[in-house]
Amino acid sequence: MSLKWAQAEIDAAIQRELKAEREEAEKEGRPFDENDFHYGVECYKSALRAYESLCKDGHSGMSWSFTREILTKLINDIPLSPILGTDDEWSNQFPGDEQNVRRSSLFRHKNEDGTYRYFDVDRVICVEDMGDHKMYTRCGMVSQIIDELHPIVMPYSPTEKPITVQIKTFDSVHAEVGSYDTLAVLDYIIPGDPEKKSINKFFKEVGTEMVEIGFTEYNERYLRFLEADRIEKEKLKLKTDGELAP
């Protein structure tokens, strides 16, 4: 790889993006102005300048890989050395919990006995299989479950990839898309460990809280959801057929 190679890749990527934007504009019947793609072009150029800087430093082989690893961590807000948890690493700009100055997503909470509980809001990502795609979300309650299983201790070295937790959510009453009153926390995978570990905890909404329930009740709610979903799809089908009728 070389700067000439990188320049050619950047140019090709920009032209591909411009072509796609132009075709999309034509498809939608609206005018296309290349200046509208200025932001994307500048991002490509910025990446090329960073690459050019590394090339000028004469990196190759092992030094290139090592430098790339360092840069990737910095771009992803990953500290280059373990967080020690010393008092000078924390800021109390927020009331209550203290925020870590080396990783903005990491907080500590002081317990009544003087010890600390640590939580990283970027440590866990929830994944839900939606059939034709996967949905990625963050959930404080799910993160707490993981923290109970694997508490954060100091020194702490965050990973670039989060812990992924498989979940299932649904509205057991109306089968309304985008809303849920039931949650299943199924299993999880820790980065670097290919083994999937089970959780199998189930929750229902009671007022403003999610309360843990057993699998039997969860399954009953899921069957109600399937029936509600069937009814909603029948209503949609009848409405569509009515609109298409002569």
**Does residue 132 belong to any structural domain of this protein?**
yes
pLDDT surpasses 80 at 96: no
pLDDT surpasses 90 at 39: no
Q: What is the pLDDT of residue 246?
A: 38
**Does residue 238 belong to any structural domain of this protein?**
no
**Does residue 82 belong to any structural domain of this protein?**
no
- Pair 183, 203: CB distance under 8 Å: yes
Over its C-alpha atoms, the chain yields an Rg (Å, rounded) of 25
**Does residue 245 belong to any structural domain of this protein?**
no
Helix H segments across 86-193?
A: 140-149
Q: How, if at all, do strands 163-170 and 124-129 pair?
A: parallel
Cα–Cα distance, 234 to 150 (Å, whole number): 45
**Does residue 164 belong to any structural domain of this protein?**
yes
pLDDT surpasses 60 at 100: yes
Domain that holds residue 172: 123-233
**Does residue 154 belong to any structural domain of this protein?**
yes
Mean pLDDT of 94-106: 88
Q: What is the pLDDT of residue 245?
A: 41
Q: Quick one: 130 and 225 in the same domain?
A: yes
Q: What is the pLDDT of residue 94?
A: 66
* Neighbouring C-beta atoms of residue 203, cutoff 10 Å: 20
pLDDT surpasses 90 at 166: yes
244 falls in which pLDDT band (50, 70, 90)? Answer: very low
Q: Quick one: 11 and 70 in the same domain?
A: yes
